[in-house]
A and B are shown apart, each in its own frame.
Chain A
Amino acid sequence: MAIEATAGGRSAFDQLVEEARPKRTLAQNLKRFARRKPAGAISAVVLILLAFIALFAPVIATHDPIRDQVAAERLEAPSASHFMGTDNLGRDVFSRVVYGARISLQVGFLAIGLGTVTGMVIGVLSGYLGGKLDLVVQRVVDVLMGFPFIILAMLLVVALGASLLNVGIALSVAIVPRVVRLSRSSTLSVKEEVYVLAAVTIGVSLLRMVLRHILPNTLGPVFVLATGALGGVIVAEAGLAFLGLGIPPPSPSWGGMLNIGARGYMEAAPWMVIFPGVALSAVVFTFALLGDALRDVLDPRLRRGDS
């Protein structure tokens, strides 16, 4: 049963298989990925599209997401000029959803980037150095894993104050313990490899050892975790904004839009609730699919149990 992607215990057999594998170019690898995992490939395309929308939001959006408030056009149903209708302040929902992609991706990548880098540094050092440091880190990680994700993020947002940067930081802290645990366990198995022993023998410095020999070999599982977690982080951002604890209005965060929509506009303007939610779910769904496909590709041992 493969419930969680752990990378501990690579057997000698896996090692042999890996060495026997033919080397392929990037293009060949991509083609193989598309053929073997069509769902993963489709989700990758959707995500590239999403990044494109976020990047070119000013071009795609038909209105300004914040400033274009037309009192006469409040709560209008979807039409040719407002594809997704207008909200309670007469803002164009379509444009806000488009700009919302920007916020979701910004927070998502900020949180995942910060969280994985911090988590990997701590995890690899803790696993490689061992001893008291490892003991302390493990205890703290165990405790933090016991915190419900959203509660930990909430505490941090309350302490830091709500802004895009702070929400990103808060969510990054919330994923750090997961990354630490994973990269520590990979480090423990990599540490036993012969090439690490060889590196020790020729007197490689700690920095070089960690950066050149250990870290690159622990990246795979962390990458899978990060991809899968990206969707979770985006939902958490939306959840915080939905609770009024995320990026403050008037920023067009999907969660914030749902929050306003849920406050008495559901009957009058259901499109205020439907479209941001569709966008949010679609993004999370594709990240989950991509994460699944990547996990299968990068970690073949997990293929059997879960499918």
Chain B
Amino acid sequence: MQKYIARRVLLFIPTLILASILIFGILRILPGDVALAILGQEAAEGGGGYTETQIRELRAELGLDDPLPIQYVKWAWSMVNGEFGGESIRSTEPLSSIIARRLPVTLQLTVYTVLLSIIVAVPLGVFSALYQDKWPDYVLRMGAILGQSMPNFWIALLLLLFMVTQIGWSPPLGYSNIWVDPFHHLQIMIWPALILAWRFSAYMTRITRSGMLEVLAQDYVRTAKAKGLGQGLVVRRHSLPNVLIPVITLGGLEVSTLLGGTVILENLFGIPGLGQEIVQASVGRDFPVVQSLAMMLVFFMLGLNLVVDIAYSYVDPRVRYS
């Protein structure tokens, strides 16, 4: 077991390095001069032009004069030592403070979504499996397909539209920290969490359902029924525990798409998380911020996958030896 964990953790480091090279490579090697792009944008917004000297100064300031490998090593080292690639070009706020401010918000939103999804999806999945091919099953499956095919930002727009025009209530503006004003905090976070959870729980319900169907067909379930156990006990003690393992694993891996969804919904609901920052930075061509935040998001994704893998090997010993 320890050997397996050690191997996975050791493999994690080259994976991170490769990810950082890819992110760096995408932003630097592809055609287009970063300094020119930034100045061009500023000039277009301010209505003025820019000079050769300005370009040269900006390039020096961004460290673009160094050879690429040195630029990379400098950036990679700064990700390790806590500087996270310097500061924002637009606001000159250090990235370490941007991340410290915004990361918890995104994590909270993700946790709310996952919690909501599990609370909803597991019972629904079991229910759906018990009533396979009867009408509750069809209703739930339709809901799941709808949740998966309506783009979440459109669901969000419809929800806002409905609340504003029909109820005359819209989520409060501005964001509050959960420790400062929990009620206000939840009033804002609940909507994106609900919308994200619809899609996420649709997926989780599907896995729970197909897992349940598989387990319910097992011999030991039939034996349990044969010896006179009620359906409640059969489900709770003999079926569900066996289903939860794959549900949790696959759910954990699916959080990556969830993270993509938070990026869009944070922008729509004005939630000051990493997703809002990376989009604003992308629109404003704030390359250091885009680069470092992308790395942070990927780091969390890969880290989460690692944790899920290890957790899985813990509950299912077969994985360790493959």
Contact = CB atoms under 8 A, between A and B. Distances in A.
Interface of A: 1-3, 139-140, 142-144, 146-151, 154-161, 231, 235, 238-239, 242-245, 258, 261-262, 266-267, 270, 273-274, 277, 280-281, 284-285, 288-289, 305-306
B297 interface: yes
A158 B290 contact: yes
Given A3-B207, A148-B260, A156 B149 contact: no
A146 B161 contact: no
Nearest to B254: A3
Given A258-B153, A273-B157, A284-B149, A147 B301 contact: yes
Nearest to A284: B149
What's the dominant secondary structure at chain B's contact region? helix
B151 to A, nearest CB: 5
B313 to A, nearest CB: 17
Interface string B248-289: 001000001101100110011000000000110011010100
Interface stretch (B15-23, B67-75, B226-234): B15-23
Interface in B230-247: 246
A159 B214 contact: no
Range of interface residues on B (Cβ < 8 Å): 35 or more
A245 B211 contact: no
A1 to B, nearest CB: 5
Contacts of A258: 153-154, 157
B165 interface: yes
Contact of B282 (A2, A140, A154): A154
Given A1-B214, A258-B153, A277-B151, A143 B264 contact: no
A149 B148 contact: no
B153 A242 contact: yes
A140 B149 contact: no
A39 B22 CA distance: 41
Nearest to A235: B151
Interface string B287-319: 100100010011001100100000000000000
Contacts of A242: 153, 264
B26 interface: yes
B158 interface: yes
B111 interface: no
Contacts of B23: 155
A105 B257 CA distance: 23
B157 A277 contact: yes
B151 A306 contact: no
A274 B162 CA distance: 11
Given A267-B164, A285-B149, A147 B298 contact: yes
Given A147-B298, A148-B257, A267-B164, A277 B278 contact: no
Given A139-B18, A243-B264, A281-B150, A158 B157 contact: no
Contacts of B14: 139
Given A262-B157, A306-B206, 10 more contacts: A139-B14, A143-B22, A144-B22, A147-B19, A155-B27, A160-B32, A244-B283, A284-B151, A285-B150, A305-B210
